[in-house]
A = this chain, B = another copy of it.
Amino acid sequence: MTGVLDVDIREVAPRDGLQIEKPVSTAAKARLIAALVATGVRRIEATAFVSPRAVPAMADASEVAELLSQWPDVEFSALVASPGGARRAVAAGITRVEYVVSASDTHSQANARRSTAEALAQTAEVADTVHGAGGLLEVIVAMAWDCPFEGRTPVARTVDLLGRAHTLGADSLCLGDTIGTATPVRVGALVGAAVEAVPGVPLGAHFHDTYGSGLASAWAAYQAGVRRLDASAGGLGGCPFAPGASGNIATEELVHLFEDGGLSTGIDLDACVVAAEVAADVVGHAVPSRLLRAVRARS
């Protein structure tokens, strides 16, 4: 738990990994989180305080939050989509909050029933709530590279949103490749512009693996200056057979990629494989991780 890491991975399986799955029990989530904690990962996105009608899998957010005090060495966070969600999160004891602003108006309307500008404007209120509880706020710009409705997101639009979100109170920022279509050249371009636009602000990136280039994009982000990356045990996140939904990059594959190259993640790969098995068991179906498949084939 000490020392400076080359790459600081945030595990998102309990939130992004589970959010489109059939709801699993809070006990199953506790089992998954315990396995993730055992990997040595320092940050875990544990749940989301969002509409239980829209995302039934996250309806037990407060119950999940109650579990977390048993792991005091891990920084747990929750995702919110509104000031109300932020209030519920801090009431549940969560002090690390991710608030999503979509770079695409169409997606923002579909996802949160408000325009990008309206969602952005609420950042100040979310920040006040989080800071009032002694917490820290991260703004995730969703559809940072592409939107399924609007096509490519202009680099200038995403970068502008990052700057505004920071001004409105975000302590850290994250670029969300929400649909998993980013590729290394465009990742390098956007990250390079973002690093220049908000120097000194912790900047993360979040990739899915829809077209197989998720790990290459993560590597490109690292090369361009990103040191905070999201990943999900087993590559959980979206059923591979559901239109438009695909898994996050797999934590164990990302850990292997960096650690094999001598770059420290603070995460134990063997424990990651165990966590990926738990993730697959919790959702009751195969997960996309190639590394998990290779390790299973060997044993």
Chain A residues in contact with chain B, CB under 8 A?
A: 180-181, 183-186, 209-213, 215-216, 218-220, 240-246, 250, 253, 256-258, 260-263, 288-291, 293-294, 297-298
Could you name 27 residue pairs across A and B whose Cβ atoms are closer than 8 Å? A183-B256, A183-B258, A183-B260, A184-B219, A184-B257, A185-B261, A185-B262, A186-B260, A211-B256, A211-B257, A211-B291, A212-B215, A212-B250, A212-B256, A212-B291, A213-B253, A213-B257, A215-B215, A216-B257, A219-B220, A240-B290, A240-B293, A241-B297, A243-B297, A244-B297, A246-B290, A246-B294
Q: Which residues of B contact A262 (CB under 8 A)?
A: 185
The listed residue with most B CB atoms (<10 A of its CB), out of A181, A242, A260, A294, is A294
Residue of B nearest to A297 (CB): B243
Q: Which residues of B contact A261 (CB under 8 A)?
A: 183-186
In the assembled complex, the CB of A145 is this many whole angstroms from the nearest CB of chain B, namely: 10
In the complex the two chains form, what is the Cα distance from A218 to B183 in whole Å? 13
A215 contact set on B, CB distance < 8 A: 212-213, 215-216
- Residue in B186, B246, B253 whose beta carbon sits within 8 Å of that of A212 in the complex: B253
With A and B bound together, what is the CA distance between A218 and B215 in angstroms? 11
Contact B290 A211 (CB under 8 A): yes
A24 to B37, CA, bound (A): 47
Chain B residues whose CB sits within 8 angstroms of the CB of A216 once the complex forms: 215-216, 218-219, 257
B residues less than 8 Å from A180 (CB atoms): 294
Roughly how many angstroms separate A257 CA and B213 CA in the complex, as a whole number? Answer: 6
| A185 CA to B261 CA, complexed, in Å | 5
A290 and B210 contacting across the interface, CB-CB below 8 Å: yes
Shortest A185–chain B CB gap in Å is 3
* Closest B residue by C-beta to A262: B185
In the bound complex, what is the Cα–Cα distance between A180 and B212 (angstroms)? Answer: 15
Q: What are the residues of chain B within 8 A of A240 when measuring CB–CB? A: 290, 293, 297
Interface centre among A250, A257, A290 (most CB of B within 10 A): A290
Enumerate chain B residues within 8 angstroms of A244, measured Cβ to Cβ: 297-298
- Report chain B residues within 8 Å CB of A218: 216
CA distance A113 to B60 in the complex (A): 61
Residues of B within 8 A of A258 (CB): 183
Residue in B closest to A222 when the chains form the complex, CB atoms:
B184
A185, B297: Cβ atoms under 8 Å? no
Q: Give Cα distance in the complex from A267 to B250, angstroms.
A: 29
Complex alpha-carbon distance, A217 and B250, angstroms: 16
Q: Once the chains are docked, how many angstroms separate the CA of A284 from the CA of B262?
A: 40
Chain B nearest CB from A252 CB (Å) reads 8
In the complex the two chains form, what is the Cα distance from A17 to B184 in whole Å?
26
Q: Once bound together, how far apart are the Cα atoms of A185 and B264, in whole Å?
A: 13
Of A261, A288, A291, most buried by chain B (CB within 10 Å of CB) is: A261
Q: A181 touching B212 by the CB < 8 A rule?
A: no
